Amino acid sequence: MSEKPPPEIADIMRVSSHREVYEPCDDSFALVDALLADQTNLLNHNPNLCMEIGCGSGYVITSLILLLKPKLPNNNVHYLATDTNPLAARVTTETLEAHGVEADVICTDIASCLETRLAGSVDVIVVNPPYVPTPEYEVGMEGIASAWAGGENGRSVIDRMLPVVDRLLSEKGWFYLVTLTSNYPSEICLMMRKRGYAWRIMVQRSTEEENLVILKFWRDRDEESLEKEASSSASFASEFSRSLSSFMEKQQR
Amino acid sequence: MRLITHNMLSCNIKGVANGFPLKIEAESVIEKEVDFNPDFLRHMFAKIEWKALVEAARSLGYSELPEDSPAAAAEDESLLKKLHHALLELHLEEGALVCPETGRRFPVTRGIPNMLLHEDEV
């Protein structure tokens, strides 16, 4: 009997759960698919410090560890995961344990207790943020609502995260972000462009309820193009929609 | 939580200037063996606040690290092995982290530090 190859991503049957913790869903799967699509690049990237902000069930951070593991054993990389929901932090540790992998999990708002010491140090950040457009008062409520309530255009938490991510990322740092088309991802790309980042669409997926777009950002300090692009947000938005439609065309072929 | 992570945490209560390093009150510590990887340690050595690590390791009952940051740590294998043990193999399971400036306690339960702030601390 041949031995089964080790799993490359988290096994859904081994993901722990709690009624107040968001379960892996289409958005989580799309983010992990983006990481899988970028697996070779990630291995060559050779990160020392990887982090998930808003780890929920632990499905994504566990998958990231597993898909880097064949070439980058656990003792090559330090993994951190944060969540504002203490129950989610606990469920994540259970999911990690069930897969026999190691990450340190911290209960904090975004990454606030890590920002000072980790500035400029994190090589990979993955985020599946609370992106659902909701009334503003629902943002930051306790329990499972913190996993999805995103305020106006679903952007309240995302917009608070971007400067934090910018501060934490190392010079070679990469950032993967789940968005909906109703979050105006072109605006998010423009905000990151103004901070000196290039972007690309990793995954686009339409489900019954959502149009998901998974974005990847990395530093690209080309001052000239930065000035040109940032000068007109209208032309930037049309560039984004061109990228999105050409990505969707490629996908259909 | 391992001490590599403790070395990255600070108390971010509004107005706190010196929220690092957090003092450790250890109630339960466990050890888990990890394969030794000198390259990773050499890379991390630059990011570690040495005195904070020595103090943290001591509060978990490990006193083998030299008091002063060793100049030639990268070539000293026996030192790297001690660093490896302190950073990656000791886990604070139960206890608390205490802000050096305000004395605010952050509980650690099942290895997870709860660093959430109260509304009046943000």
Local confidence pLDDT in tens for the 253 residues of chain A: 456 666 689 999 999 999 999 999 999 999 999 999 999 999 999 999 999 999 999 999 999 999 998 887 656 899 999 999 999 999 999 999 999 999 999 999 999 999 999 999 999 999 999 999 999 999 988 889 899 999 999 999 999 999 999 999 999 999 999 999 999 999 999 999 999 999 999 999 998 889 999 999 999 977 666 666 655 677 888 889 999 998 888 887 7
Residue type, B1: M
The domain tally of chain B equals 1
Q: Taking CB atoms and an 8 Å cutoff, what residues of chain B touch A109?
A: 116-117, 122
The verdict on residue B50 lying in a domain is yes
Is B52 inside any structural domain? yes
Q: What is the CATH number of the domain that holds B71?
A: 2.20.25.10
Q: Which residues contact A248 (CB under 8 A, 6 or more apart)?
A: A204
Amino acid A226: pLDDT = 62
pLDDT score at A209: 85
Cβ of residue B97 closer than 8 Å to a chain A Cβ: no
Nearest-angstrom CA–CA distance, A213 and A34: 10
B118 is a domain residue: no
Kindly list the strands in the beta sheet with A169-180, ordered across the sheet, starting from the edge strand earlier in the chain: A104-107, A78-83, A49-53, A122-127, A169-180, A211-219, A197-206
**Distance (Å) from the C-alpha of residue A55 to the closest C-alpha of chain B?**
13
The CA-to-CA distance between both ends of chain A, in Å, stands at 38
Domain membership of residue B86 (yes or no) is yes
CA distance A96 to A194: 36
The lowest-confidence range among A127-131, B44-48, B72-76, B105-109 is: B72-76
**pLDDT at residue A75, as a whole number:** 67
Give residue for tokens 């992570």. B5
User: Is B108 within a domain?
Assistant: yes
Q: In the numeric block, which tokens belong to residue A3?
A: 């031995």
Quote the CA–CA distance of A171 and A196 in Å, as a whole number: 11
Q: In this structure, which amino acid lies at residue A81?
A: A
A112–B117 CB contact, under 8 Å: yes
CATH classification for the domain delimited by A12-252, as one of 3.40.50.150, 3.30.540.10, 3.40.190.10, 3.40.50.300: 3.40.50.150
Give the distance from residue B64's alpha carbon to the nearest chain A alpha carbon, in angstroms.
Answer: 21
Of the candidates A133, A194, A124, A121, the residue with the CA atom closest to the CA atom of residue A158: A133
What is the radius of gyration, based on Cα positions, of chain B?
15
**Preceding omega of B21 cis (within 30 degrees of 0):** yes
- A48, A105, A117 ranked by CB distance to B112: nearest: A105
Asked if A106 is an interface residue toward chain B (Cβ–Cβ < 8 A), one would say: yes
Residues 6+ apart with CB under 8 A from A4: none
Question: What are A196's two structure tokens?
Answer: 């000196």
For B:36-75, CB contacts with A below 8 A are 36-37, 39-40, 43-44, 47, 49
User: What does DSSP assign to residue B114?
Assistant: B
Question: CB under 8 Å to B103, separation ≥6 — which residues?
Answer: none
Distance, in Å, from the CA atom of A66 to the CA atom of A9, rounded to the nearest integer, reads: 6
Number of residue pairs across A and B with CB atoms under 8 Å? 84
**Residue B66 lies in domain:** 3-113
Residue A157's CB is within 10 A of a number of other CB atoms, namely 23
What is the largest distance, in Å, between two alpha-carbon atoms of chain B?
48
What's the gap in Å between the CA of B10 and the closest CA on chain A? 5
Cα–Cα–Cα angle for A167, A56, A80, nearest 5°? 45
Indicate whether B122 belongs to any domain. no
Q: Measured between CB atoms, which of B44, B47, B113 is closest to A106?
A: B113
d(CA A38, CA A40): 6
Question: Average pLDDT in the B94-107 region?
Answer: 98
